[in-house]
Structure formats: structure tokens, C-alpha cells
């Protein structure tokens, strides 16, 4: 009996619970089990009916899908047949096109190559300022994937012909020009072929990036600017010389980048300034000594022509020793004259030793600048390598400029020192000759008196 009750309980637990109350005894439990069994059978019948209905629907969907698959396979076969027919027809048309085009295929490649090369030339040409639309046409023609038309071929030929014609003409036109201050002004420009353009005596440079003309930041020498200014004012048919750059701006760019004398001196650094200061000091000393020697030379020459003794020149001061009769014998007079000449020599040779020292120091300072510049160059190479020459240009410039400045100062100082020494030696020689003449006359006089 207990086993039966346990079995009923397990069966009850395995079925859905439809009653909320638990049975109080076995009879209620039996009645509950019977009710739930009836309900379960009803639910199973409903489920079986749904399953049967769904099975019928799935069978219908399966049949429909199979029918669609068959239709698509049939359509695929039709499309494959059409594709094969079209591909065969396309191959036939391509073969026919190749036969009929003949050399037109090579013409297409040639036209594209010519258009591409001409575009690069016209983009950097000064004539592009007047005809900027030509570059757009060449861009379109070089990027086209179709055969060029007759009209496009004519336009290409006309474009090249216009460029050739413009390269041999001198034209004046008004166009915007970028000034050195950054302002854009409409100015009358004179263009000589495709080489040079200028306005109001100022040379211009063409910028392919913007398609504008810009004034050179640094203009060439005044001689060239004067030529172009006169050429701008020339009348039609008048022949005048002018300046052109056959490299289309390359030579002009290098010309204006050449450093000026001031910039060249600045490249020498502080050593270069010291050399120039020493050179200036040497020139001042040389100028003062030259004036002094010139004055003394004129005084000596004047004293030689007159009998009166003047204390304003070296020869007069030496002659005053003889006139003062400080010595009665020849030997004493000779010594006194030599003493007077020795007193005059420092004034005649004043500054010559300083000039010699400055002439010797200037090359040494130039060598010092060379060593300093090379040290700076090697430091740049150590830090940044040799990939960028601009990093080394500062040290190399200092190394070369200081040497140049040292020689430029030393050579003139040596020549000036040599000239002043010769002039001073000539004056000393005149004093020696005059003093020797005085001694000779005095000796002769004493000899006559003794006889």
C-alpha cells in the first residue's frame, strides 16, 4: 500500500500541477490524478492537431521552395546562355574595333604623352599668366581614357603653336603682381619670350604653384635694372639692349642669392670684425704717416732750394746744428749731425712697425677663423650627419671668409708699409747726404786754413 502511494505521488509530481490544494487522503488523490489525466489527454490532442497542421504547412513551404529553386536554376541557365552569347559578341566587336582602329591606338598613347609633357612645360612657363586655361585642357586630355577627337587634336596643336610663338615675342600686358611687401597690385608687365619678365625696372619671377608673378626679394645690380627700365620705355620698332635669362629664372635666382659684401662680412663672425678693425687702424696710421712724410718731403725740397734755415722741416733742423757752430772740428760736427738725424728718424719711421705687425697679425686671425669654422662644421656633422649641407654652410663660410678677410687686409698693409718705408728711407738718405756734404765742406775749409 505504501508503495502504491509513493508511486502515485511521483506520478503526480511528474504531471503539471493544475490544482492549487494538496489532497487530504487517498480518495482525493485518486480523483485529482483522474482529472489531471483527462486534462493531459485533451492538451495532447490539441498539440497533435497543431503538429499535424504545421506539418502540412511545412510540406507546402517545402514544395514552394523546391519550385522556386527549379525556376531560379532555369533562369540561371538562361542567363549563362545570354552571357556566353554577349561575351562572344563582345570579343567579335573588340576584334572588329582593333582591325578598324589600326594605328589609332598608338595615336592615343602618343597624344596622352605629348599632353602630359606639354603640361609640365606650360605650368612653369611665364605665358601661363596670360593663358591659364591651357593647363586645364592638357590635364583633361592627359587623364582621358577615350580616343581624342579631331577637335581636341587641333586644340593640342594650337596650344603648342601658341607657346612656340610666344617664346619669340615681346609683349606688354597688365596682370596682378605680388610685391615684396606681400601686396597684390595690377601692373603693366613686359615679358620677353618665356625667359624674363619685369615691371617698373624690377625683375619678376613666375610662381607655378599660384600662377602669379612676384617681385624678386633682391634685385640684380643697378646696371641690369637700368637696362630693363630703358627697354620698357622703348618705342615700337626701337632696338635696345636688355637682359634675359635663358634658363627661365635659374641663373637669376642664383644671381640674387649671391651674398652682398655686408652679408659676406657677417659670415666671418666676430673674428672677421676684428680683422676689419685692425685693417681700419692700419689705414688710418698709414694715411697719417703718408701726410706727414709728404709734408716733410716738401719741406726738405724747399729747404734745399733756399739758404735760410727753417725749423719747420727735418733738413732745416739738421742744418741749424751747423749754423749754431756747436762744433769746431770735423769729428765733433759729424757726431752732432748724426745725433740730429737720429732725432728725426723716429718721426720719419713712425707707424711703420705698427703697420708691419698688423700685416702679420691679420693672416693669423684669418687662420684662427678658419680653425673655428672647421670646428663648428665638424660639430654639425657630429650632431646631424652630412645629409643637410645647409647645417655645415655656416662653419664653412666662417672658415673661408675669415681667411679671405685676413689676406685682404694683410696684402694692402704690406704694400702700404713697403711704400711708406721707401719714402721714409729716401728722406733719411737726403738727410744723410746733406749732413755728409756739410762735413765735407767743413773739412775742406779746415784743411785750407791749416795750409
Q: What is the pLDDT of residues 348-380, one digit of tens each?
A: 888 888 888 998 898 888 888 887 777 777 776
Whether 450 shows a pLDDT value over 70: the answer reads: no
The per-residue pLDDT for 445 is: 67
440, three cell numbers: 765735407
Give the integer Cα–Cα distance in Å for 392 and 385.
Answer: 9
Smallest CA-to-CA distance from 201 within 242, 173, 160 is with 242
Whether 398 shows a pLDDT value over 70: the answer reads: no
pLDDT in tens, 266-324: 777 788 888 889 989 999 998 988 888 888 888 777 777 777 777 777 777 777 776 65
Grid look-up 487530504 returns 24
The per-residue pLDDT for 103 is: 61
The mean pLDDT of 178-185, rounded to a whole number, is: 82
pTM above 0.85, yes or no: no
pLDDT in tens, 23-70: 777 777 778 888 888 888 888 888 888 877 777 777 788 888 888 888
Strand partners, 205: 214
DSSP H helical ranges for 102-149: 104-123, 133-143
pLDDT band at 237 (very low <50, low <70, confident <90, very high): confident
Smallest CA-to-CA distance from 188 within 207, 209, 172, 211 is with 172
Whether 209 shows a pLDDT value over 60: the answer reads: yes
The per-residue pLDDT for 390 is: 61
pLDDT band at 133 (very low <50, low <70, confident <90, very high): confident
Helix, strand, coil percent content, the chain, rounded in steps of 5: 75, 5, 20
Whether 16 shows a pLDDT value over 80: the answer reads: no
* Helix/strand/coil for 176: strand
Q: What is the DSSP letter of 203?
A: E
Residue 78 or residue 384, greater confidence: 78
Whether 429 shows a pLDDT value over 70: the answer reads: yes
Whether 15 shows a pLDDT value over 60: the answer reads: no
Work out the end-to-end distance of the chain between its first and last CA atoms, rounded to an integer number of angstroms.
199
Mean confidence (pLDDT) of the chain: 77
238, three cell numbers: 626701337
Give the integer Cα–Cα distance in Å for 446 and 440.
Answer: 10
The per-residue pLDDT for 18 is: 41
Identify the weakest region by mean pLDDT among 6-20, 131-145, 163-177. Answer: 6-20
Give the integer Cα–Cα distance in Å for 211 and 265.
Answer: 37
The per-residue pLDDT for 8 is: 42
Amino acid at each position: 500500500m505504501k508503495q502504491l502511494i509513493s508511486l502515485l505521488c511521483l506520478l503526480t509530481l511528474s504531471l503539471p500541477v493544475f490544482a492549487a490544494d494538496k489532497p487530504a487522503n487517498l480518495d482525493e488523490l485518486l480523483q485529482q490524478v483522474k482529472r489531471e489525466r483527462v486534462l493531459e489527454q485533451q492538451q495532447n490532442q490539441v498539440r497533435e492537431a497543431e503538429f499535424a497542421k504545421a506539418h502540412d504547412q511545412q510540406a507546402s513551404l517545402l514544395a514552394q521552395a523546391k519550385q522556386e529553386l527549379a525556376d531560379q536554376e532555369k533562369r540561371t541557365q538562361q542567363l549563362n546562355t545570354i552571357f556566353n552569347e554577349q561575351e562572344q559578341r563582345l570579343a567579335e566587336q573588340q576584334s572588329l574595333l582593333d582591325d578598324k582602329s589600326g594605328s589609332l591606338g598608338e595615336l592615343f598613347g602618343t597624344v596622352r604623352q605629348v599632353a602630359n609633357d606639354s603640361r609640365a612645360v606650360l605650368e612653369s612657363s611665364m605665358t601661363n599668366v596670360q593663358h591659364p586655361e591651357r593647363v586645364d585642357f592638357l590635364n583633361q586630355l592627359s587623364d582621358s581614357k577615350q580616343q581624342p577627337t579631331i577637335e581636341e587634336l587641333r586644340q593640342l596643336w594650337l596650344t603648342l603653336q601658341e607657346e612656340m610663338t610666344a617664346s619669340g615675342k615681346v609683349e606688354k600686358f597688365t596682370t596682378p603682381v605680388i610685391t615684396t611687401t606681400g601686396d597684390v597690385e595690377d601692373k603693366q608687365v613686359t615679358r620677353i619670350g618665356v625667359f624674363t619678365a619685369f615691371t617698373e625696372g624690377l625683375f619678376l619671377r613666375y610662381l607655378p604653384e599660384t600662377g602669379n608673378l612676384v617681385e624678386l626679394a633682391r634685385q640684380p645690380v643697378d646696371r641690369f635694372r637700368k637696362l630693363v627700365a630703358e627697354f620698357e620705355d622703348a618705342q615700337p620698332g626701337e632696338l635696345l639692349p636688355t637682359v634675359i635669362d635663358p634658363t627661365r629664372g635659374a641663373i637669376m635666382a642664383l644671381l640674387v642669392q649671391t651674398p652682398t659684401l655686408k652679408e659676406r662680412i657677417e659670415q666671418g663672425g666676430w673674428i672677421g670684425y676684428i680683422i676689419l678693425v685692425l685693417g681700419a687702424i692700419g689705414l688710418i696710421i698709414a694715411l697719417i704717416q703718408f701726410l706727414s712724410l709728404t709734408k716733410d718731403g716738401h719741406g726738405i725740397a724747399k729747404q734745399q732750394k733756399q739758404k735760410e734755415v727753417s725749423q719747420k722741416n727735418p733738413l732745416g733742423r739738421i742744418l741749424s746744428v751747423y749754423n749754431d757752430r756747436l762744433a769746431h772740428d770735423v769729428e765733433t760736427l759729424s757726431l752732432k749731425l748724426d745725433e740730429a738725424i737720429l732725432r728725426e728718424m723716429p718721426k720719419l719711421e713712425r707707424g711703420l712697425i705698427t703697420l708691419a705687425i698688423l700685416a702679420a697679425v691679420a693672416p693669423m686671425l684669418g687662420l684662427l677663423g678658419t680653425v673655428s669654422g672647421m670646428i663648428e662644421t665638424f660639430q654639425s656633422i657630429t650632431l646631424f650627419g652630412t645629409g643637410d649641407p645647409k647645417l655645415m654652410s655656416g662653419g664653412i663660410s666662417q672658415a673661408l671668409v675669415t681667411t679671405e678677410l685676413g689676406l685682404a687686409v694683410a696684402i694692402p698693409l704690406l704694400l702700404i708699409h713697403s711704400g711708406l718705408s721707401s719714402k721714409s728711407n729716401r728722406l733719411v738718405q737726403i738727410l744723410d747726404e746733406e749732413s755728409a756734404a756739410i762735413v765735407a765742406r767743413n773739412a775742406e775749409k779746415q784743411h785750407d786754413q791749416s795750409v
